[in-house]
Structure 1
Amino acid sequence: MAETGRGAYGGRSRRRHPGRHVAGPHGGSRQGGCRERGQGRGEPLMRKSLIFFLKIGILVAAAVWLAQRPGRVTIEWLEHVVEMPVGIGAILVLLAAWIAASIARLWRILRNGPGAFGRSRNARRREGGFRALAQGWVAASAGDADIATKSAKAAEKLLREPSLTLPLSARAAELRGDAVASASAYKAMLSKPATELAARRALLTQAMERGDRPAALDHARRALELRPKADWPAKALAELEAGGGNWLEADAALVKAQKVKALPKDDAGHRRAALLIEEARKAMATGRPDQALQSAQAAFDLDPARVPAATLLARLLAKAGKHAKAVKVLEQAWRQSPHPDLAKVWGEASADQNPLTLVKRYEALVALKPGQADAHFALAEAAINAKLWGVARSHLDKVRELAPTTRAYRRLADVARAEKGEGPEVQAFLNQAMSAPADPRWRCTSCGTSHSDWHAVCDECGAVDAITWPKVGKA
Structure 2
Amino acid sequence: MIRALWFILKVAVVIAIAIWLADRPGTVSLHWLGYAIEAPFWLALLAALVALGIAALGYRLLRAVIGAPRRMRIRSRTRRRERGYRALTQGMVAIAAGDAQTARKMARKADVLLNEPPLTMLLSAQAAQLQGDERAAKEYFTAMLERPETAFLGMRGLLTQAIKSGDRVEALTLARKARTLQPNTPWLLGTLYDLEAQAGDWAAAEGTLQQAIQAGAIPTDEGRRHRSVLLLERSFEAERRGRADAALSHAQAAYDTMPGFVPAAVRLARLHIDADRLKPAAKVVERAWRQSPHPELAEVYRSIVDSYDPLTRVRLFQKLVRQSPDSAESHMAVGRAAMDAQLWGDARQHLERALEIAPSRRLYRLMAELDRTERHDEDAAAAWLAKAAAAPADPSWTCRSCGAVSHAWGGLCGNCGAFDSLTWKAAVTAPPLMEPTDIPPALARPATA
Say whether 1:175 aligns with 2:130.
yes
Give how far 1:267 is off. Answer: 3.7
| 1:202 aligned partner | 157
Aligned equivalents of 1:280, 1:240: Cα separation in 2: 20
Give how far 1:446 is off. Answer: 2.1
Higher relative contact order (CA 8 A, sep 6+): 2
The one-letter code sitting in structure 2 at the alignment partner of 1:238 is Y
| 1:237 aligned partner | 192
Aligned equivalents of 1:287, 1:193: Cα separation in 2: 47
Say whether 1:362 aligns with 2:341.
no
TM-score by length of 1: 0.78
Say whether 1:109 aligns with 2:50.
no
| 2:205 aligned partner | 250
Say whether 1:326 aligns with 2:313.
no
Aligned equivalents of 2:214, 2:42: Cα separation in 1: 88
Secondary structure (helix, strand or coil) at the match of 1:468 reads strand
The one-letter code sitting in structure 2 at the alignment partner of 1:427 is A
Say whether 1:381 aligns with 2:318.
no
Give how far 1:328 is off. Answer: 1.6
CA contact (8 A) 1:228 1:257 kept: no
Say whether 1:272 aligns with 2:227.
yes
| 1:151 aligned partner | 106
| 1:461 aligned partner | 416
| 1:43 aligned partner | none
The superposition leaves residues 281-316 of structure 1 with CA deviations (integer Å, 9 ceiling, x where unpaired) of: 233344432222122112112222211001000110
| 1:414 aligned partner | 369
Say whether 1:164 aligns with 2:119.
yes
Give how far 1:389 is off. Answer: 2.9
Change (3 A) 1:95 1:285: closer
The one-letter code sitting in structure 2 at the alignment partner of 1:133 is L
CA contact (8 A) 1:136 1:148 kept: yes
Q: Tell me, which stretches of 5 or more residues in structure 1 are unaligned? A: 1-46
Residue in structure 2 matching 1:134, options 64, 82, 89: 89
CA contact (8 A) 1:152 1:169 kept: yes
Change (3 A) 1:261 1:54: closer
Secondary structure (helix, strand or coil) at the match of 2:411 reads coil
Identity %: 43
Give how far 1:411 is off. Answer: 1.7
Secondary structure (helix, strand or coil) at the match of 1:428 reads helix
Change (3 A) 1:415 1:68: closer
The one-letter code sitting in structure 1 at the alignment partner of 2:361 is T
Give how far 1:374 is off. Answer: 0.9
| 2:145 aligned partner | 190
Change (3 A) 1:104 1:423: same
Change (3 A) 1:471 1:366: farther
Aligned equivalents of 1:255, 1:66: Cα separation in 2: 86
Aligned equivalents of 1:439, 1:349: Cα separation in 2: 25
The superposition leaves residues 232-281 of structure 1 with CA deviations (integer Å, 9 ceiling, x where unpaired) of: 33333332232233323322332454577765554433212112212222
Aligned equivalents of 1:72, 1:234: Cα separation in 2: 88
Q: Tell me, which stretches of 5 or more residues in structure 2 are unaligned? A: 428-449
Change (3 A) 1:363 1:68: closer
Q: Which has the larger radius of gyration?
A: 1
Aligned equivalents of 1:209, 1:449: Cα separation in 2: 21
Between stretches 404-413 and 205-214, larger displacement belongs to 205-214
The one-letter code sitting in structure 2 at the alignment partner of 1:282 is E
| 1:396 aligned partner | 351
Change (3 A) 1:327 1:423: closer
CA contact (8 A) 2:394 2:426 kept: no
Say whether 1:450 aligns with 2:425.
no
Between stretches 388-397 and 410-419, larger displacement belongs to 388-397
| 1:225 aligned partner | 180
Aligned pair count reads 427
